[in-house]
Amino acid sequence: MSAAIALTEATFKEAVAQGATLVDFWAEWCGPCRMVAPVLDDLAKDYAGKASIAKVNVDQEPGLAEQFGVSSIPTLLVMKNGAEIKRFVGVTAKAELAKALDAALG
């Protein structure tokens, strides 16, 4: 089980409204998404109590994917107080994601 929070259209806005959140737009069938999953689990542990790590399954929540213009997965958004401040598309190194989260927290 992932350490990341699963988000839906109903829970998304409230979940990202406060603080820093890294949101992964992914799908079960996506190989690169499976490669990123353990990195996100590590970040969830590293940033526990500081930032949230969340996932949006694009097959189950196509409206959110459309709302954020997600056309390739994985797409990772760094959100601060509800606003997107950084976007990564494709497999991204843990250090890059941590640097973006640190900037959002800074």
CA distances to 18, 73, 77 from 89, rounded to whole Å, are 23, 7, 9
Is residue 1 predicted with pLDDT exceeding 70? no
For the segment(s) 5-105, the CATH number from 1.10.10.410, 3.40.50.1820, 3.40.30.10, 3.40.50.150 is 3.40.30.10
**Tell me, what's the pLDDT at 20?**
97
* Residue of 58, 66, 52 whose CA lies nearest to 18: 52
pLDDT of 19 above 70: yes
Looking at the chain, which runs of residues are DSSP E strands?
5-6, 20-26, 51-57, 75-80, 83-89
pLDDT of res. 90 = 97
The pTM (predicted TM-score) of the whole model is: 0.96
Catalytic-labelled residue, pool 16, 23, 33, 70: 33
Q: What is the mean pLDDT of residues 94-104?
A: 98
Indicate if 18 belongs to the active site: no
CB 55 within 8 A of CB 4: yes
Catalytic, out of 4, 20, 30, 77: 30
Catalytic (active site) residue 30: yes
| Degrees, nearest 5: CA angle 63-65-66 | 65
27-74 pLDDT tens trace: 999 999 999 999 999 999 999 999 999 999 999 999 999 999 999 999
